[in-house]
Amino acid sequence: MDHERGVDEIRRMAGLATPMALRVAVTLGLPDRLLGDGAAADRVAAELDVSPVALTLLLGHLTTLGIVERTPAGYRTTEFGANLRADADNGLANLLHLESAAGRAELSFVELAHSIATGEAAYPLRYGQDFWADLTEHPHLRETFDRQMTQRIRAQLPQVVAGFDWSRFRTLVDVGGGHGTPLAAILTAHPSLRGHLVDLEATAVEAGKTFSANGLDGRAEVTAGSFFDPLPAGADAYLLFDVLHDWDDEHAHRILARCVEAAGPAGRVLVVEAVGGLHAASEMDLVMLVHYGGRERRLEEFRALAAPHGLVLDTVTTLTAERCLLEFRSATER
């Protein structure tokens, strides 16, 4: 790549106009409004109570990006742009909307320098409290976050279910299990297995609906609670699915301590998430840091995290192109 092309490429990589244009388009619902023959910018601006001149500028850039196209009636969403519609069922609209949990959190990246200087999340600097406190205070953020978590794993569930011998266990506790989609898939594939999901109350209610919809009421139990509090005791295995990377070491230690306390010397702790140096994307390292103060830990970091709790890493299983399953056992188990 010659010097001039290199400079242009870096300039495109660094620009904020395009990512913010896409987010604002989704937040305004433009991909959903500009259907059929399209609509004139003035009419849409009046409906949305925004500046018609500024909206025309936004639509001009969206046209350059191929999200919308000009028509005799005004602007129309393209087939490509339809990926941003709320009903596209791909998670993008929920991810980009500025009033969703993810969209709001992404704006914390303007404070990335703070995170690099301190090793702490940038989210509290921007919003005055951490991400999880915001979710507790604003139910709509909790709902969009739970929906995002369900969406991001859905396509990988068949690999998650098939890639590990879940039938080794009789009872499995899904710690911070969200709406219950992974646990429901695992239980459905293994009729002899019983499950128990723990999550905060509003999320736990939705998990109960997931289990009922899958005919699992007799084998899946739900407890409303935090993974910082005592967990249901005596299960064969405790599953942390995309949990630990959301937390700094102090909080990750607290979560593991609760799992070990509940599991006892014979129970296993199963950690499913991206692992640094194996399948984790470098971009997600920064996302975890800025949003939550966490990171995609490497294997040696997981070993160091587990050791004070009497856990040793037994096996590492690649489940998908993004996630591994790390199985921990008690150091005293023979």
Tokens 């921990």 found at: 328
Helices within the chain (DSSP H only): 3-14, 17-28, 30-33, 41-48, 52-65, 92-96, 101-106, 112-118, 123-127, 131-137, 139-154, 157-162, 181-189, 201-213, 249-263, 282-292, 299-306
Which DSSP state fits 108? G
Which DSSP state fits 104? H
Query: Which of 147, 143, 117, 115 lies closest to 130 in space, CA to CA?
Result: 115
**235: helix, strand or coil:** coil
Is 251 an annotated catalytic residue? Answer: no
Find the catalytic residue in 97, 179, 190, 245.
245
| Helix pair angle (201-213, 139-154), 10° resolution | 40
Instruction: Say if residues 176 and 149 touch (Cβ distance below 8 Å).
Output: no
Question: Which residues are CB-contacts of 80 (< 8 A; sequence separation ≥ 6)?
Answer: 66, 67
**Residues involved in catalysis:** 245
